[in-house]
Structure 1
């Protein structure tokens, strides 16, 4: 079982919920999570321990966002294809992907994104605005580039698999 499949189980990404997550609103609003978490915990200066409430709300938003929106009317857009590509990638242990997509770039991009998240956490603890800005920028640069690679993977795979083709409507 791939790590991505384990993560998908945590987020309850069933077939139906993958389709909901492919709604562009789901994809684009997930970009709000990290800045909201940072702001929520940064607000401990102003509201003390009450900052836990917006922090928990933002974490709940991260968890429920993939299933909050309705199935999109069409998946013929970049945002939807990122989700479909992620689904193809997590399924690589059952359906082989082309060699060009078996490169270490996915790990590199996830490392960049994770480094940005860690820097953001450090910046939040230490009240470093520039650290937070750089951390969010790195996290989103790595994640966005990774998602773009997922679109490429989906485009390469959709015509080779009946199930994948059905996601493209």
Structure 2
């Protein structure tokens, strides 16, 4: 099982949760807050010592709860909604996705890696500039990744294929 499928399982993403995560508020707040909150929570060990486990737990709880925190959108045509739907298609039908999309998704994931390493080093060495800069570098490819997921969604729909957990009339 690959890393993305494991993450989806850990997040307990069922049809209802995916539909709620299609709310643009869910996608945007997750993208803009998850990594910064996690960095800040880990950094809090400087002030809180072992008490930092509490903000770390809270940051992880927010990451898990975010897809459930917002109502299902009335419409699914927002850019972020289509990105979330594309991600679902990608996760459930990866072998059926065009090779150029699979390659691009892999490249974008790999582009996040240097930033993640700088961020981790910054957190270990208490180098706040590295932690912040690394988090930004790790997060920027995510926006491009979501755009690729929109493209996957649009191609999938153009081919007349069904999106998991969605009725055709909703899209």
Q: Is the 8 A contact 2:35 2:139 kept in 1?
A: no
What is the alpha-carbon distance in structure 1 between the residues aligned to residue 156 and residue 169 of structure 2?
11
**Aligned residue for 1:134?**
133
2:29 corresponds in structure 1 to 29
Distance verdict in 2 for CA 1:83–1:108, change over 3 Å: same
Residue 93 of structure 1: how far off its partner (Å): 4.7
The answer as to 2:153 corresponding to 1:154 is yes
Count of paired positions: 167
Check 1:128–1:134 CA distance in 2 against 1; reply closer, same or farther (3 A cut): same
Describe the shift of the 1:154–1:56 C-alpha distance in structure 2 as closer, same or farther (beyond 3 A): same
Asked whether 1:105 is paired with 2:104, we answer: yes
TM-score (norm 1): 0.87
TM-score, normalised to structure 2, is: 0.86
Cα drift, residue 135 of structure 1: 0.9
Counterpart in the other structure of 2:20: 20
Match of 1:90 in 2: 91
Contact 1:116 1:134 in 2 (8 A): yes
Q: Which runs of 5+ in 2 are unaligned?
A: none
Residue deviations 1:109-131, cap 9 Å, x none?
11122332232122112111221
Q: Residues 46 and 158 (structure 1 numbering): CA distance in 2 closer, same or farther, change over 3 Å?
A: same
Displacement of 1:5 = 3.2
Root mean square deviation, CA, Å: 2.1
Unaligned regions of 5+ residues in structure 1, if any? none
